[in-house]
Amino acid sequence: MQPSSALPARITMLSGGVGGSRFAQGVRHLIRRSATSLTCIVNTGDDMWLNGLRVCPDLDSMMYGLAGVNDRDRGWGRAGETERVSAELVAYGVGADWFTLGDLDLGTHIARAQLLRSGLGLAQVTRRLSERWDLGATLLPATEHEVETRVRVDEETTLHFEEWWVRHRAALPAREFVHPGAAEAIPAPGVLEAIRDADVILLAPSNPIVSIGAILQIPGIADALREASAPVIGLSPILGDAPVLGMAAQCLRAVGAEVSAAGVARHYGARSYGGLLDGWLVDEQDAEAVAGLEDAGIAAAAVPLLMGTDDLTADMAQAALDLAGRTGR
Ligand code: FO1
């Protein structure tokens, strides 16, 4: 581990929920004794109104994870959760019986809905909710517009991403992912500045289609990355031929991208050829992909990418910073 003097002043990362939260905890662990700031631009495409409340799964996974109050086994929701209210909602036949809102989690959704109804934007609401804990990072929603990720499962039908993923366990073949309303959306306050002012920009090992990809659908964000002075370094969510968690494989196949560490890098593209990436970390088992990536204009390195502990994840983050230093940006 390099001395903290080698750390950049400002790190900005794009992130989904479960994988992004574990990665953010590792980045924070790496910078814990330094003056480095961490800003996380978080996917809001999984968000939904449920029982009159605004549920933001990825923002909540990031907040609970950084607060240390998350259910580490499930990767989402609160530790020590109970589901008494949810059982009542099911008994009344309201809401979605396939999407369980825990009692503690409902506290977040009630507070968020109240603050939104008071006229605050989601960025301010997220800041208000986060103030309860010392997260060691700033959470920003990608946009304050309600742009859902929906999955086309047949000619006439699209499902909210959560219904596809949770209710149907991603078993219905996804023909495409659509983001209705994205064209009219704008980045949330602070997002473009966090990209512009960053010294290093990281793409967390989140789902490249429905998490990072949904963030990139918001007009202005992909262009801001291409124009950023900071190096853009991604970490592969695919180790070998499978994702560590979640359903990135089904999503990549749906858009015709190869399900491999190199395939995801090519999906994002090399910044020098109009894409997003200056560098890409692959797991040691995918070391043979490094040469091809370098030839394609993407600096690459093979390091352990399994996020077991904060120390291991901090090492991944350090490897990403080392790679950033090699890109000459
Ligand atoms: N995932 C499930 O598999 N089952 C659930 O009932 C469920 C409820 C839930 C409630 C709030 C929340 O923030 C997340 C929840 N999730 C649930 C996880 C959710 O699907 C994931 O956090 C992401 O959307 C997928 O990356």
Identify which of 126, 166, 211 to mutate to test ligand 1's pocket (most ligand atoms within 8 A of the CB).
Answer: 166
| Ligand 1 atom index nearest CA of 165 | 20
How far apart are the C-alpha atoms of 151 and 131, rounded to whole Å?
34
How far apart are the C-alpha atoms of 63 and 25, rounded to whole Å?
10
Identify which of 51, 99, 161 to mutate to test ligand 1's pocket (most ligand atoms within 8 A of the CB).
Answer: 99
- Is the distance from the beta carbon of residue 166 to the nearest atom of ligand 1 less than 6 Å? yes
The two tokens of residue 158 are: 């699209």
Measured in Å, residue 60 CA sits from the centre of ligand 1 at 10
Confidence (pLDDT) at 329: 85
Confidence (pLDDT) at 3: 46
Q: Which residue, 172, 128, 133, 161, is CA-closest to 58?
A: 161
Helices (H), 7-83: 18-30, 57-67
What is the C-alpha radius of gyration for the chain, rounded to an integer number of angstroms? 19
Q: Which residue, 65, 194, 39, is CA-closest to 127?
A: 39
Torsion of CA 278, 291, 306, 177, to 10 degrees: 60
Q: What is the pTM of this model?
A: 0.97
What is the helix (H) or strand (E) element at residue 140, kind and residue range? Answer: strand 138-141
- Is the distance from the beta carbon of residue 95 to the nearest atom of ligand 1 less than 6 Å? no
The two tokens of residue 179 are: 């983001």
3-state secondary structure at position 310: helix
Contact in structure between 197 and 208 (CB atoms under 8 Å) = no
β-bridge pairing 37-42 and 138-141 = parallel
How far apart are the C-alpha atoms of 227 and 183, rounded to whole Å?
20
CB hemisphere CA count around 67 (13 angstroms):
19
Q: How far apart are the first and last CA of the chain?
A: 22
- Is the distance from the beta carbon of residue 44 to the nearest atom of ligand 1 less than 6 Å? no
Q: Which residue, 157, 161, 159, is CA-closest to 149?
A: 161
Measured in Å, residue 8 CA sits from the centre of ligand 1 at 34
Measured in Å, residue 274 CA sits from the centre of ligand 1 at 34
Closest protein CA for atom 1 of ligand 1:
166
How far apart are the C-alpha atoms of 189 and 195, rounded to whole Å?
12
Measured in Å, residue 129 CA sits from the centre of ligand 1 at 19
- Is the distance from the beta carbon of residue 105 to the nearest atom of ligand 1 less than 6 Å? yes
- Is the distance from the beta carbon of residue 64 to the nearest atom of ligand 1 less than 6 Å? no
Confidence (pLDDT) at 1: 46
Per-residue pLDDT of the chain (329 residues; tens, 9 = 90+): 444 458 999 999 999 989 999 999 999 999 999 999 999 999 999 999 999 999 999 999 999 999 999 999 888 999 999 999 999 999 999 989 999 999 999 999 999 999 999 999 999 999 999 999 999 999 999 999 999 999 999 999 999 999 999 999 989 999 999 999 999 999 999 999 999 999 999 999 999 999 999 999 999 999 999 999 999 999 999 999 888 777 888 899 999 999 999 999 999 999 999 999 999 999 999 999 999 999 999 999 999 999 889 999 999 999 999 999 999 88
Sign of CA dihedral 108, 109, 114, 118: positive
Contact in structure between 291 and 256 (CB atoms under 8 Å) = no
Measured in Å, residue 57 CA sits from the centre of ligand 1 at 6
3-state secondary structure at position 264: helix
Measured in Å, residue 74 CA sits from the centre of ligand 1 at 9
What is the helix (H) or strand (E) element at residue 66, kind and residue range? Answer: helix 57-67
Report the b/e string of 173-211 with b at 16+ CB within 10 A: ebeebebeebeebebbebbbebbebbbbbbbbbbbbbbb
Single-letter residue type at 219: P
Contact in structure between 238 and 246 (CB atoms under 8 Å) = no
